Amino acid sequence: MDQGFVNTEISNDGLATITFGHPAHNSLPSLLLSRLSGQIQSAATSPEVRLILLKSAGDRTFCAGASFDELLTLTDEASGKAFFSGFANVINTIRRSSKLVICRAQGKAVGGGVGLMAACDYCFASEQVAVKLSEISINIGPFVIAPALERKIGLSAFTTLSLNPTTFFNAYWAQQQGLVHTVQPTVAEMDKAIERFCDPLLGKSQEALTALKRTLWQGTDHWEVLLYDLAATSGRLALSEESQQSLREFKRR
Amino acid sequence: MDQGFVNTEISNDGLATITFGHPAHNSLPSLLLSRLSGQIQSAATSPEVRLILLKSAGDRTFCAGASFDELLTLTDEASGKAFFSGFANVINTIRRSSKLVICRAQGKAVGGGVGLMAACDYCFASEQVAVKLSEISINIGPFVIAPALERKIGLSAFTTLSLNPTTFFNAYWAQQQGLVHTVQPTVAEMDKAIERFCDPLLGKSQEALTALKRTLWQGTDHWEVLLYDLAATSGRLALSEESQQSLREFKRR
Amino acid sequence: MDQGFVNTEISNDGLATITFGHPAHNSLPSLLLSRLSGQIQSAATSPEVRLILLKSAGDRTFCAGASFDELLTLTDEASGKAFFSGFANVINTIRRSSKLVICRAQGKAVGGGVGLMAACDYCFASEQVAVKLSEISINIGPFVIAPALERKIGLSAFTTLSLNPTTFFNAYWAQQQGLVHTVQPTVAEMDKAIERFCDPLLGKSQEALTALKRTLWQGTDHWEVLLYDLAATSGRLALSEESQQSLREFKRR
């Protein structure tokens, strides 16, 4: 079975482009989450990298979130917590990175995929982007990604997303709430906008950009513990009969 | 004298509808505030309740806030603090409830009435809704409700409301700021939207919804003390000659 | 050389209007920052003052931020920190003031000028207002003003401003984010709106307004230390060869 991929390309001027892909709508099993953390961490510490761009494969879904296939294989609370800790690791790796991480979203994002967008420092979207937090539908909840989302869009918009688990909210709504910073009509125009944005930043003082990154993330040190507590909550709920049954129903559709 | 009422109806599928009403534009004297806290607390702990809907009587004003009649009877700082602690109790009861509390606002809200909307987890409004914080007009201030409002709409929108005490801001403004989550053109359409929203949630894992509620309110434990300190501030100011005089002037109109 | 001015006028009904001006687009050298703090502090403690209005001279730029001329004279980390501490002092003086401080912005604001707008309690703007955080362009960063901006506009809008250092965002964008509370089409209409806003507030209980000011700034006591740490960061970066060179290039244009 194709288990997806994560790869990194580094341009001469210091832009590390990290791309992930998975045949099931770019959903994320543990293996990909672990590779994502690893490659973000490598780029963050590489002296030749000045800026990190996170993107996904293809021209459809940006990221479908947690792998439902893997959620159905969970057997105990430890494996549940371990799975969701994969998202906690990616978010904390972006947070700790001294380099800014830019997100490029070309299509729909669900659950943990919305969390990825929120965890990045700056997010570009094409008009095809729409976001949905479906967790309550499957009797879990958007826990690990809650701090990253609340930090960007505030409590009220996070509540709107959490409690409307079957509704996709569009790119302009996401921009108005602060999840997305720039919306472009097409993917091609988004890519040009990303270039116009990154090019000048690549020429700026790395010390200044790092100090700015630290200022932006001030007050989030407790995420080192908090996100894993939330991963335990998600893991425990995902094991419940209610949750496993709704996951099986989703799979049958 | 009709002192108003609070009642609770529980549907077969677990929706507790709590309705308050008062002849003076659904304003809130101590007695109603105390009954509101009590009935929210009962619903929150009742095993047959899964979700709480807070609404008010009639098709005009949602809630005019603190009862001016009672404010004019205050005699000392203790009675002042006790009165405003009634709002603190309602807000903290909603906050501590393990069940989500949904608000249904059908018309204007003033002062403490806006605080009620903010304290609930999710707020529906009809287009007839408009909100005003008139407290500074009567030489008090929107203190007890400040944390609930800032949590939802942020400091800047709270400042706009506080310092424009004679201006009503409409339902769409309230939605843009995050006070209201859904605006519907009519009360009938709002009631249908509430049904569409509540029905699926009533079928979801109570454990997941409770964990979500806890996540949404993370970092507010200090309200157990803070809101009563703020109640003391409001109580002290309400006793001032400046405040009592402006209350009498309002009454004469 | 004309080093600019700061003056205070106090009206009979207790409005202290503090005006600053500098020939270089109302930019701020240490001397003006120090006079600004001093006069705000005097107005805040004067028994005849009830409300403070902060404005700048002329009908063009509201404030160009830090004086580039002075940045080019910095010689060591101590002088760098001392210069940026001038902004920290102004912001903390506004914060500590028991009187509300209203800002009147008639034109463009850059860097520290945007910080001034954010630090005030309420901000009026004419349509000519546009805001830009150019700091990253000169290899520094918007550090000292970051807490004041994040408090008003949130992290996401602050990120948008910080990472688009050559883009001016207009008055309506600034209002939508919460930096500006009221936008008026012309300066004349803004001045009428300021009068309509201040006149009733000047007649309200000073005790109530002071209690409201305290509530609005709750949780910011740590700025007494934080802003000076951030001033040290800015000061250190401003001394770098990258920063000094970009400052010289800006001057040559």
Residue C30: other Cβ atoms inside 10 A: 18
| CB within 8 Å: A240 and B207 | yes
* Residue C252: band (very low, low, confident or very high) from pLDDT cuts 50, 70, 90: confident
| CB within 8 Å: B163 and C211 | no
* Residue C202: band (very low, low, confident or very high) from pLDDT cuts 50, 70, 90: very high
> What are the chain C neighbours of A122 within 8 Å (beta carbons)?
159-160, 163
Reported as a single tens digit per residue, the pLDDT across B5-51 is 999 999 999 999 999 999 999 999 999 999 999 999 999 999 999 99
Average of per-residue pLDDT across B126-144: 97
Average of per-residue pLDDT across A140-169: 98
Average of per-residue pLDDT across B141-148: 98
Which one, of C210, C231, C233, C164, lies nearest residue C51 by Cα?
C210
pLDDT at C101 over 60: yes
Taking the Cβ of residue C233 and every Cβ of chain A, the question of whether any pair is shorter than 8 Å is answered with yes
Average of per-residue pLDDT across A177-189: 98
pLDDT at C94 over 90: yes
* Residue C1: band (very low, low, confident or very high) from pLDDT cuts 50, 70, 90: low
What is the structure's pLDDT at B2? 78
- The DSSP annotation for A140-185 comes to --S-TTHHHHHHHHHHHHHHHHHH-TTPPEEHHHHHHHTS-SEEES
Average of per-residue pLDDT across C53-60: 97
What ipTM was assigned to the predicted interfaces of this complex?
Answer: 0.97
Q: Which residue is it, tokens 């060591």?
A: C76
Chain pair B-C, CB pairs under 8 angstroms = 67
Residue of C159, C169, C175, C247 to mutate, interface with A, max A Cβ within 10 Å: C159
> What are the chain A neighbours of B151 within 8 Å (beta carbons)?
155
Average of per-residue pLDDT across A203-230: 98
What is the structure's pLDDT at A1? 54
Average of per-residue pLDDT across A186-197: 98
pLDDT at B225 over 70: yes
Reported as a single tens digit per residue, the pLDDT across A21-38 is 999 999 999 999 999 999
Average of per-residue pLDDT across A208-235: 98
* Residue B253: band (very low, low, confident or very high) from pLDDT cuts 50, 70, 90: confident
What is the structure's pLDDT at A2? 78
Reported as a single tens digit per residue, the pLDDT across A117-132 is 999 999 999 999 999 9
Average of per-residue pLDDT across B122-147: 98
> What are the chain A neighbours of B204 within 8 Å (beta carbons)?
136-137, 139, 242
- Phi then psi for B9, rounded to 5 degrees? -120, 135
As to burial, measured by CB atoms within 10 angstroms (0-12 exposed, 13-18 middle, 19+ buried), residue B226 is middle
What is the structure's pLDDT at B11? 98
What is the structure's pLDDT at C251? 82
Percent of chain C that is helix, strand, coil (3-state, to 5): 50, 15, 30
Question: Which chains touch A (3+ CB pairs under 8 A)?
Answer: B, C
CB distance A65 to A110 below 8 Å: yes
> What are the chain A neighbours of C178 within 8 Å (beta carbons)?
none
Higher pLDDT, residue C1 or B49? B49
CB distance B156 to B135 below 8 Å: no
Reported as a single tens digit per residue, the pLDDT across B55-113 is 999 999 999 999 999 999 999 999 999 999 999 999 999 999 999 999 999 999 999 99
- Phi then psi for B25, rounded to 5 degrees? 55, 40
State the amino acid at position C79 in one-letter form. S
